[in-house]
Amino acid sequence: MGFQYTNIKLEWKCLRKELADSLSSCRVLVVGAGGIGCELLKNLVLTGFKNIEVIDLDTIDVSNLNRQFLFQKKHVGKSKAQVAKESVLRFCPSANITAYHDSIMNPDYNVEFFRNFQLVMNALDNRAARNHVNRMCLAADIPLIESGTAGYLGQVTVIKKGQTECYECQPKPTQKTFPGCTIRNTPSEPIHCIVWAKYLFNQLFGEEDADQEVSPDTADPEVAWNPADAAARATASNKDGDIKRVSTKEWARSTGYDPVKLFNKLFKDDIMYLLTMDKLWKKRKAPLPLDWTEIHQLESSQEEAFGTGLKDQQVLGVQGYAQLFHRSVETLRSQLIEKGEGAELVWDKDDPPAMDFVTAAANLRMNVFSMNMKSRFDVKSMAGNIIPAIATTNAVIAGLIVLEALKTLNSDFDQCRTIFLNKQPNPRKKLLVPCALDPPNPNCYVCASKPEVTVKLNVHKTIVQALQDKILKEKFGMVAPDVQIEDGKGTILISSEEGETEANNNKFLSDFGIRNGSRLQADDFLQDYTLLVNLIHSEELEKDVEFEVVGDAPDKAPAPSVPEEGKNIANGNKDSAQPSTSSKAAAEDDDVLIVDSDEEPSSSTMEASPESSNRKRKHHDADTDATASKRKRLDQQPADDDEDIIALD
């Protein structure tokens, strides 16, 4: 039976009896029951897999229903894993499916749990969980099939301990962030205003974060001005808005969350305060303050107030966004009151009042800084980090996962490939591009025989809590690290046992005799992972940089080695506070590249996107130029190479 897709033919053959029998007896784990996961579960049972376990922490949202076909409207709010199991059993009742409504990062799912399976398949939407599953499969020595989609783009790859790169083997570009002074003082792109508006939501209605301040930044290094002089020049503004430099939330509460007072503070008084920072505007266009009374004295047309076309794709005028700001503040204020004293709201792009607030505030700030305003649809896409999910892409990728699974279970590992699904045919009319799997990176800080990394920091300024949270957990993906100093005494610096080393948290590393050249041994017993950390003391780190990873450890993305731009890949549906299988939020995407080569590329020649996050799977090679990036053709590839054939024996 054949399936024609553009110029790509997937040739299916009947499974050998031995392979068919192994499918009915082997146990497989599916991590994620979302866009890819639904398609994958369907494919697995219809291919003959009988013993499947699926885990997902997420619940079903209305926005999932357009592509996650195992779910219906009546299932909204229920466990994805449980409903997916029930739906699959309706058309394949002979399957033995176990569902877990839980995070795969829960310590209950330890190495012994993973050893129960012959194969693990990821259908995830966040990097933290992907890193964790990668490490658990390495520790358990179980093959892992990794996958991701973003719009029309997708990819599938196979990871096997000792034979291929692991998910964390290569450098990944750091997720793009913006300096606080840019967000607060000198936004130049719409995304800066959208980030500011999300911060503002948290400062007013959610959990306050000192790193998300929205008021003018008087410590901006570009300013180099005299605050006393500026305060004198801002007298008029102070009289108008009665400005007092208190926390945003405290000030808002004192006004009873009055929308007009909030408007004038944010878009008039704070802007006038910014204008006193003369040096900021010598080479930039100065912002133009907005005044609530003046805006509403202007004559406005119906078009400005309501826009034209589909509601979410309208771009309103200043008055329209001012009214939207007023309405959304009143609604959010009511929600706070209903929740009671001390309550906080959580920003969710699918919550209309929250989305209205961010849309209005971001667009008003864009207007202040002379940018073209954006529709609610555009703001939501950027604010939620959304990559449109295409059901067809998920279906194709899920099919490719099963193909690679069959090869793996049939002991045809040399036939396994990394496969990229492209948005458009390349010059050779290919949509699917198979790439040879790369061998492990001997310098990988996860799968090397003795993982080791060098970190540059200031031992007199870095506290133990920062070492644990920002370096070991956030940077190196540990879940519950135990750290001892290699000082000949085995001094315990951090313990995963609650309460044992809490007294150390706010002490500086230097308080424990740690200095330039000190070594730490960090163990994560859940991941069965040990990392040696060499410390270099430095007092010359850049401003706002707490540490740097140096040496051979993945740190910075290499320069692109091929001409065509990479794309972001994710199972991209939503940037949830609790992603599908992780209790920790993390926006996720992988990289794909449209490959135009006549010859089979290696996955190491694929270019990474600069928008990607820090631990993305690598599809490029820093030490390889374009001519060296090609590999020999697949032995089974026909001479007439107009079609790619993926065959199963």
Q: Does 428 count as an annotated binding residue?
A: no
SS3 416: coil
d(CA 267, CA 294): 12
* Per-residue tokens: 176: 């793009």
Query: 128 a known binding residue?
Result: yes
410 is in an annotated binding site: no
Query: 358: which DSSP letter?
Result: H
Is 80 known as a binding-site position? yes
User: How many CB atoms lie under 10 A from the CB of residue 542?
Assistant: 6
Token readout for 238 is: 């102070």
Distance (Å, whole) CA 86 – CA 67:
17
The closest alpha carbon to 295, from 254, 330, 325, belongs to: 325
Q: Is 469 annotated as a binding residue?
A: no
**Does 631 show up as a binding residue in the annotation?**
no
Give the DSSP letter string of 155-208: EEEEE-TTTS--TTSS--PPPP---HHHHHT---SHHHHHHHHHHHHHHHHS--
**Is 127 assigned a ligand-binding role in the annotation?**
yes
* Annotated binding-site residue? 35: yes
DSSP 218: T
β-bridge partners, 454: 534, 550
The answer on whether 32 is annotated among ligand-binding residues is: yes
Tokens of 223: 């300013």
User: Any binding-site annotation on 34?
Assistant: yes
- Set 38, 137, 181, 435: catalytic member: 181
Residue 528 assigned ligand-binding role? no
Question: For tokens 């800080």, what's the residue?
Answer: 445
User: Which contiguous run of DSSP H or E holds residue 384?
Assistant: none
For residues 188 and 365, is the Cβ–Cβ distance under 8 A? Answer: no
What single-letter DSSP state applies at residue 81?
H
Asked whether 404 and 413 are in contact (CB, 8 A), the reply is: no
Classify the C-alpha dihedral 396-397-402-406 as positive or negative. Answer: positive
281-to-182, 185, 243, 465 alpha-carbon distances in Å? 13, 10, 22, 39
| Ligand-binding site membership of 345 (annotated) | no
Confirm whether residue 322 is marked as ligand binding: no
Judged on CB neighbours under 10 Å (0-12, 13-18, 19+), 183 is: buried
Please check if 135 is assigned to a binding site: no
Query: Per the annotation, does 102 bind a ligand?
Result: no
372 annotated ligand-binding residue: no
Q: Is 67 annotated as a binding-site member?
A: yes
**Was 573 annotated as part of a binding site?**
no
User: How many whole angstroms separate alpha carbon 147 and alpha carbon 165?
Assistant: 14
Q: 3-class SS at 460?
A: coil
* Residue 181 falls in the annotated catalytic set: yes
The answer to whether the annotation marks 320 as part of a ligand binding site is no
To the question of whether residue 444 is assigned a binding role by annotation, the answer is yes
CA distance linking residue 646 with residue 636, whole number of Å = 9
Q: Collapsing DSSP states into helix, strand and coil, what is residue 5?
A: strand
Phi-psi region of 242 (alpha: psi -120 to 50; beta: other; left: phi over 0): left
Sequence ranges of the binding site: 32-37, 56, 64-67, 80, 103-104, 125-130, 166, 169, 444, 447
As annotated, the active-site residues are: 181
Sequence ranges of the binding site for ATP: 32-37, 56, 64-67, 80, 103-104, 125-130
Sequence ranges of the binding site for Zn(2+): 166, 169, 444, 447
